[in-house]
A and B are shown apart, each in its own frame.
Chain A
Amino acid sequence: MQEEIMSAKNQAIAQISGAHDNEELEQIRIDLFGRNGKITNILRGVKNVPQDQRQQIGILINETKKTLENMLLDQKNSFKENVREWFDPTIPVPLVKIGNLHPTSVVISEMVEIFKHMGFSITEGPEIETDHYNFELLNLPKDHPARSLQDVLYIEEPETLLRSHTSSVETRSIENLKPPFRVVVAGKCYRFENVNASNNAMFYQFQGFALQKGLSLSDLKGTLFHFAKSYFGKDRKIRFRCKYYPEVEPGVGLDLNCQFCNGKGCAVCKGRGWIEMLGAGMIHPNILKNFGYKPKEITGFAFGMGLDRIVMDRFKIKDIRSLYNGDIKYS
């Protein structure tokens, strides 16, 4: 009987793997497991097997049955994969609504991500500010010539105004935080501007500052180079030059080579070959003194840049007003 089973099994295996379609397979199945099928008949004959062998034969038959059934199923599935019914994956369907972030938020979070890796936290401050925090404490006393670079929007002259830069958060942070700290701020700022395609009375700045014993111009340069290379690309050229800002000493201007003309000079860079990207420097000793620090005992750096221009470049938006007036069509 054992031989009979084995031979039936081998024969069936050959037949199943040789079958070409479902019909053939169905015939094989009937031949094996049908009312008069081979395996059915063998099962019927088990009762004639002597008692001592019956259990062993039973196990063998069951295994055979299982193997053949699995084979039949596998073979059937393989037909399914080879022969398929016509199906259209291009059919348009209603979409689930996906929300998207505002371009300015996207740029802010990308930048924040880079600075986080360098140990920076994030902070913010009030937009309705006082002259004290916006100017005085920043080494910008009244009648300072640099004040004319920033025409301020006043709520109550001379003290209450809309912050003209995020540096006001720097003064508030130096006042409130305990060094060492590294912080970035991204937020709305306001200046008196005749609103047109390239100027708006509300704009965004991205600012950072750090206060820690041992910080140097070399650290500032390293920080800004790391940021500029990470954000604007490793192949961009960077110019790190001396520039005056009342809030810093020594002061720094950082430019990138113009990506439109590759430094040759074009309309975008006004023929300079460079795009001014940010202002920076070591926090001015007068500011440190304003908060009771001794400039030789602790040092800090600060940097700031306008965000809107960067957002506009990144998202190919030509008119600055489009950023905040509902012109944006989200994908």
Chain B
Amino acid sequence: MKIPLNWLNEIIPLPADNGVLTDKLTMVGHMLDKRLVIDGEEVVDLELRGNRADCYSILGIAREVSAIFDTKVKLLQTLELTKVSKLLNSNLSVDTPLVKRAAMTEAFDVKITKSPAWLVKKLTAYGMESVNNIVDLTNYVMIETGEPMHAFDSDKVKGELQIRLAKEGEKMITFQGATLTLTKNDLVWSRGTEVLSVAGAIGEKYHSISETTKNILVEAANYDRANIRRSVYRHNLLTEAGIRHEKELDPNMVDNALGRFLFLLKKHGWGTPNCKIYDYYPKKLNPWKLKLNFDYLKTLAGVEIDTKTIKNILLNLNFKIIIQNRNFIEVLVPTYRTDVTLEEDLIEEVLRIYGYDNITPHVLSLEIPDDITPDYIKQENALRECATAVGFNEAITLSFVKESVSKLNIDPEKPLNTTAYLINPPSPDYKFLRMNLLCNLYELSKKTIHERAEEVRLFEIGKTYFKEKDKYFERRKIALVYYLSKDNSFNNFKSLMDSFFIKMCLSHVSYSNETYLLPLHNSFSVKLGNRIVGFAGVFDDIYYLEIDLDQILGQTKKYSVSLWPKYPPQIEDLTMVFPDRTYIGDVITSITSINRIIEKVELRDIFQNSYTFRIWYQDPNKTLTDTEVEKIRKEIITSVKNKFGGILKE
């Protein structure tokens, strides 16, 4: 909120240096947003937080200044008003508990004029436009005291007035000329079927002050703030009144604010106040008691503040001390401090005036709690290392899928799952949540290729989002994409993929052909035993691998090393002929498992259907004899023939 400093200075002495003032205000909770000079007036714009309804006023800020600098706020002059059960022109009935207080007063023989220069200057410095003297005066008092008020043309609102909930579809034209269609949840002032204002937010056009107005009815009220807030947001009525009424205002300031209005009206000779007030206030809000335990303050703050200081701070903030002993102090909270309802709130009051600066920083010295980092977090960090080790750069993409690639947004595993989507997307590209990592990585790859990159190696670790029946769930994934402008081949991709699995100690995966709903060519599944943990394939020349992280969580082997064998291996090449469509990877896995002394099997050469394998025979404990190797060789040949139909080429 913008605080014109001269205005503030009228009711509270200010330090000579504005910087000192704004630094202190910032420290106690009202951060300086900007310094401005408006029409020659020095203005400080403070960032006020939503819980301090009382600070949306010159008076509120003056009280803060008073507490900080130990000075006194000048009393605002008001007219004393007498309570009556009926005003001269109008009467009010309230039929909803959403109104906590509603008060009205009248003034006659009102002269509607342009506002004098001093008033225009003040409103301009605050940031409001001048309308006429009466409307401006209601705004002036609102800025000064924090209580919004509204002036009606008294001759147009004669008789029985009512505050009630609107009828669904009821219409109102605002004084700015906009038509509102109200709902049954909007609170309104009305006269029979005429709606006079949306309570706490905006007035109707016809009943407002105009040039011909002679007499006025001024109302100030206090409502259920949540209801006002909903109306304000429903109809986009973030008016000066609206932003105050959506917060917890003090109902006790209603009559004072009206008294202040009439005082100023009279002072400037703009009308004759009728010093009567109709005041609907069924349940008066009284100051409430709060205790402050000194021990608790010490626990929460970590510093010890002497009782005298605590007392002074609370007194300067207008808390009334009713009990004080060695252990605690009990206070009455002034009703404008609607934000102070708990002991902790009171402790914050003491600490912020005492100064957060004066709290000693203390490096954690309590017992160190156990490391409870779950394995999946460690897994993701380890995977980042593995993927970068094989030369992949990390990408992070949006959780949303752009319209342009939305065709790819398919759950690759369960066709019945549907995408989760936003009902209030900021744009069509931020509507659908991704069901795989391909959509966005594909788009990124295309972009990179377009930027003339010769190679794309990207990985992403992130969540995918699904809806299954009525339930939403997320799956953690890692995906790799690969592309090479020259000599792009499956072998290149597979070499990286296999190395990646070895690096992450998951070399025991197997692959098998599988068709997926995603438009992937040569797609295959990645399996651990019989369980599918991921899939891969190629789309638009871009190779893609996606692994479900929860499926492989805890399945990786422990990283281990071995020593170089002390005895020499026997190495030999065997060339075998296989029928068409034999999976050579499976042949190698099968040979390796025949005997533990088969250390390694390598594919050396392919010629038509002939495959040359190099086989390492190695016993860790001795040098193998030809006879021993001979025996195993025979086993290999028999096994390959039986399982795969492969025949040794002599």
* A interface with B by C-beta (< 8 Å): 96-102, 104-105, 109, 118-119, 121-124, 126-128, 142-146, 148-149, 153-157, 160, 162, 177, 179-183, 188, 190, 192-195, 201-202, 212, 214-219, 221-223, 225-226, 239-244, 246, 249-253, 270-272, 276, 282, 284-286, 295-296, 299, 323-326, 328-330
Contacts and interface: CB of A to CB of B under 8 A. Distances in A.
Nearest to B371: A121
A155 B395 CA distance: 26
Interface in B366-419: 366-374, 376-377, 381, 384, 387-400
A226 B361 CA distance: 9
A57 to B, nearest CB: 41
A97 B394 contact: no
B363 interface: yes
A195 B384 contact: no
A299 B373 CA distance: 21
Contacts of A217: 300-303, 351, 356, 359
Contact of A194 (B369, B424, B426): B426
11 contacts: A96-B391, A99-B459, A128-B473, A177-B372, A242-B351, A244-B339, A270-B33, A270-B34, A276-B31, A284-B344, A326-B443
Interface string B218-235: 000000011001100100
A215 B399 contact: no
Nearest to B230: A143
A270 B47 CA distance: 13
Nearest to A270: B34
B540 interface: no
Contacts of A118: 363-364
Given A243-B29, A326-B444, A100 B34 contact: no
Number of chain B interface residues as a range: 35 or more
A251 B423 contact: no
Contacts of B299: 214, 216, 296, 299
Nearest to B248: A145
A252 B356 contact: yes
Contacts of B225: 143, 145
Contacts of A122: 373, 377
A144 B392 CA distance: 46
B265 interface: no
B55 to A, nearest CB: 10
B348 A250 contact: yes
Nearest to B48: A244
A216 B300 contact: yes
A104 B375 CA distance: 21
Nearest to B295: A296
B422 interface: yes
Contacts of B347: 249-250
Nearest to A148: B233
B463 to A, nearest CB: 6
B387 A299 contact: no
B51 interface: yes
A241 B46 CA distance: 14
A127 B463 contact: yes
A99 B391 contact: yes
A86 B17 CA distance: 73
A99 B389 contact: yes
B261 interface: no
Given A99-B457, A99-B459, 13 more contacts: A100-B388, A101-B394, A127-B465, A128-B472, A149-B50, A180-B369, A216-B299, A218-B359, A226-B363, A240-B359, A250-B301, A271-B35, A325-B398
A225 B361 contact: yes
Nearest to B243: A145
A222 B363 contact: yes
B193 interface: no
A156 B364 contact: no
Contact of A98 (B28, B50, B388, B425): B388
A216 B369 contact: no
Contacts of B226: 142-143
Contacts of B211: none
A252 to B, nearest CB: 7
Contacts of B394: 99-102, 105
Contacts of B359: 217-218, 221, 240
A226 B365 CA distance: 13
A177 B372 CA distance: 9
Given A127-B474, A188-B399, A299 B366 contact: no
Contacts of A270: 33-34
Contacts of B372: 121, 123, 177, 181, 183
Most chain A CB atoms below 10 A, which of B33, B301, B343, B348: B348
Given A99-B389, A271-B34, A154 B422 contact: yes
B426 A195 contact: yes
A256 to B, nearest CB: 14
Given A243-B49, A249-B345, A252-B356, A109 B472 contact: no
B465 A99 contact: no
Contacts of B230: 143
Tell which of B299, B395, B455 has the most Cβ of chain A within 10 Å: B299
A316 B631 CA distance: 66
Contacts of B423: 154-157
Contacts of B26: 239, 241
A123 B374 contact: yes
Which 3 pairs show the lowest CB-CB distances between chains A and B?
Answer: A218-B302, A216-B302, A97-B391
A221 B361 contact: yes
Contacts of B28: 241-242
Contacts of B451: 329
Nearest to A223: B364
Nearest to B424: A154
Contact of A181 (B369, B387, B395, B455): B369
B472 A155 contact: yes
B27 interface: yes
A305 B457 CA distance: 31
Contacts of B558: none
Contacts of B352: 242, 250
Contacts of A328: 395
Given A153-B424, A242-B29, A212 B474 contact: no
B375 to A, nearest CB: 11
Contacts of A100: 388, 393-394
Given A222-B362, A242-B348, A250-B344, A99 B392 contact: yes
Interface in B4-37: 26-29, 31-35
A156 B424 CA distance: 9
Most chain A CB within a 10 A radius of its CB, from B225, B362, B391: B362
B630 interface: no
Contacts of A244: 29, 49-52, 339
Nearest to B350: A250
Nearest to B32: A272
Nearest to A252: B356
A252 B372 CA distance: 27
B229 A193 contact: no
A240 B397 contact: no
Residue in A214, A249, A284, A326 with the greatest tally of chain B CB atoms within 10 Å:
A326
A195 B396 contact: no
Nearest to B381: A109
Contacts of A295: 344
Nearest to A182: B369
Contacts of B425: 153
Contacts of A127: 399, 463, 465, 474
Contacts of B345: 249
A265 B166 CA distance: 50
Contacts of B444: 325-326
B27 A242 contact: yes
A179 B372 CA distance: 11
A282 B393 contact: no
A105 B363 contact: no
